[in-house]
Amino acid sequence: MLLTISIPTHNSTNYLDEALQSIIKEPGLGLLYEITLSDNSLTSDTENLYRDKYINHKGINYHRAIEYGCLDSNINNAVELAKGEYVWIFGDDDLIVPGSLKEILSFVNKYQPGILVVNSQSFNQEGLIEKSRVPLKTNLFYSEKQNNKFMAELGSYLTYIGAIVVNKELWVRNFDKKKIGSYFAHLNAIFKIKSNRTAIFLSRECIKMRVGYQTWTNKSFEIWNINFAEIIWSLKNYNEFSKNKVIIRYPFHSPKSLLSSRAYGRITFNVWKRTIFKSKKISIFFKLFILVISLIPRILFKLGYKIFILNNRKNHTLHFSPKLALAQLN
């Protein structure tokens, strides 16, 4: 088996059904690729869906994984269960772009990279938000020595796990279980794998990311303002310039980052009480700063950030998509 589409799933039965329906339309299921489900849902709804609708599909494998309660551990379990040489880590609420799987299979078979990063689209209940998340029309090939270039150009995008197709053996060797709980353990693994290995970016859009569906919004401040930076800045074999392109070292001490976090709803008074006030990493000054902005109505920050984007960040770059940012503010 060349490729496994591994889907870590959690309480997402209806969206998972849509994801599976989009994938099984692609030719080669059970021959060129398989689908593996790692289900850590709190109910049996997803298991029932599999038994009622997909159990007779050759190439779709279901595994109950209630013991892997964290997103990171469920992702790792989904990869470890794979039988394919390569694994595409697929979101349980995302959709495949028709016809893209054939090109993915062709690329990994021809080039055998350590990592293949695929382009994506984003959508919500109102329709397509952007046709191409990464605004490039040509594929990118990163040599064994182009670690910093890879991080600087694609590091921000790789927070989206559905963009990752990875050699399974390399993942197993490089996944650090100590990073479980950060929600970015996959980033640590990917950048360790890339170090002195080849990687490819496929400009064709292969997956559609559903916007507005997240199961960990109550932890989003800690995940984006603390954990993300710690993962990136702890990596070896990458310089400070490339790390800064992904995220600054201490975003919780950056007024700009904090104001945007308030606009996105990552900062609330409850978050301040539960996480920020107790943190030993955030200075007293910024604890007070965050307290003040948490007490000001969020709508003012949303409006201000929308105006800022429309006037100052209208260009779609490798690191920022104005259409996606505006959609996430709604």
pLDDT in tens, 118-129: 999 999 989 999
> Residue 143 corresponds to which tokens in the numbers above?
């040599």
Residue 210 has a pLDDT of 95
- Angle CA(214)–CA(218)–CA(223) in degrees, nearest 5? 80
Residue 223 has a pLDDT of 94
Residue 31 has a pLDDT of 93
CA trace torsion 253, 157, 167, 97 (10° rounding): 150
Domains recognised in the chain with CATH numbers: 3-210 (3.90.550.10), 217-329 (no CATH)
The pTM of this model reads: 0.94
Query: Which residues have CB under 8 Å from 270's CB, separation 6+?
Result: none
Mean pLDDT (whole number) for 77-102 = 96
Per DSSP, the chain holds a count of helices (H) and strands (E) of: 15, 10
Residue 208 has a pLDDT of 97
Mean pLDDT, the chain, rounded, equals: 95
> Residue 92 corresponds to which tokens in the numbers above?
């349980």
- Angle CA(75)–CA(143)–CA(184) in degrees, nearest 5? 25
Residue 214 has a pLDDT of 65
> Residue 54 corresponds to which tokens in the numbers above?
């997909």
Residue 216 predicted with pLDDT over 90: no
Residues 269-300: tens digit of each pLDDT: 999 999 999 999 999 999 999 999 999 999 99
Q: Exposed, middle or buried: residue 90 (CB in 10 Å: 0-12, 13-18, 19+)?
A: buried
Residues 295-326: tens digit of each pLDDT: 999 999 999 999 999 999 999 999 999 999 99
The fraction of the chain above a pLDDT of 70, given in percent, is 99
Mean pLDDT (whole number) for 138-158 = 97
Residue 7 has a pLDDT of 97
Q: How far is CA 12 from the centre of its chain?
A: 16
How would residue 213 be classed by pLDDT, with cut points 50, 70 and 90? confident
How would residue 53 be classed by pLDDT, with cut points 50, 70 and 90? very high
Q: Which residue type occupies 61? A: N
Residue 190 has a pLDDT of 98
Q: Strand 60-64 relative to strand 86-89: parallel, antiparallel, unpaired?
A: unpaired
Residue 229 has a pLDDT of 97
Query: Which residues have CB under 8 Å from 242's CB, separation 6+?
Result: 147, 148, 149, 151, 152, 155
Residue 217 has a pLDDT of 67
Residues 173-204: tens digit of each pLDDT: 999 999 999 999 999 999 999 998 999 999 99
Residue 219 predicted with pLDDT over 90: no
Can you point out the beta strands (E) in the chain?
Answer: 3-9, 33-39, 60-64, 86-89, 95-96, 115-124, 127-130, 140-142, 164-167, 199-210
Written in H, E and C, the secondary structure of 179-243 is: HCCCCCHHHHHHHHHHCCCCEEEEEEEEEEEECCCCCCHHHHHHHHHHHHHHHHHCCCCCCHHHH
Enter the DSSP assignment of 299. Answer: H
